[in-house]
């Protein structure tokens, strides 16, 4: 997943990638100690993006955030950012 703040700064209509592909956004939030989980998640998405039998013209873009496992409020805040960003993207796609 793209970092949500980076994605929200960019207007998807200005990006040629969005013109030629349906973009699927997926967010993930991991505890700071879960670096291996992040790697597995990224590899799984990369494998899906390379498989034309599963995704013919669509591509998955991911946004990964690491949070302090002792701070549940940080995870909630990051989750809200991901949801907000996906909603903004969906609205742009309807235009």
Q: What is the pLDDT of residue 92?
A: 61
Query: Residue range 75-87: average pLDDT?
Result: 73
**Does the pTM exceed 0.85?**
no
Residue with more model confidence, 15 or 63 = 63
Burial 72-89 (b: 16+ CB within 10 A, else e): eeebeebeebbeebbeeb
Pairwise CA distance, residues 5 & 17, whole Å: 18
Task: Give ∠ CA 58-48-38 in degrees, rounded to 5.
Answer: 115
Query: Residue range 3-31: average pLDDT?
Result: 51
Q: Check pLDDT > 80 for residue 23.
A: no
Q: What is the pLDDT of residue 1?
A: 39
Give tens-digit pLDDT for 40-77. Answer: 888 888 998 888 887 777 788 777 778 888 887 887 88
Q: C-alpha distances in angstroms, 68 versus 41, 71, 74, 77, 88? A: 19, 5, 7, 12, 26
The full set of domains in the chain, from first to last, is 4-94 (3.40.50.2300)
Q: Please tell me the number of Cα atoms within 13 Å of 14 on its side-chain side.
A: 5
């Amino acid at each position: 997943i793209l970092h949500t703040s980076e994605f929200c700064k960019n207007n998807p209509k200005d990006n040629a990638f969005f013109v030629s592909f349906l973009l699927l956004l997926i967010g993930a939030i991991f505890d700071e100690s879960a670096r291996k989980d992040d790697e597995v998640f990224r590899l799984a998405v990369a494998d899906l993006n390379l498989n034309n039998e599963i995704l013919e013209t669509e591509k998955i873009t991911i946004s990964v955030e690491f949070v302090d496992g002792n701070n549940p409020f940080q995870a909630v805040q990051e989750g809200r950012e991901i949801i907000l960003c996906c909603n903004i993207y969906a609205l742009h796609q309807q235009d």
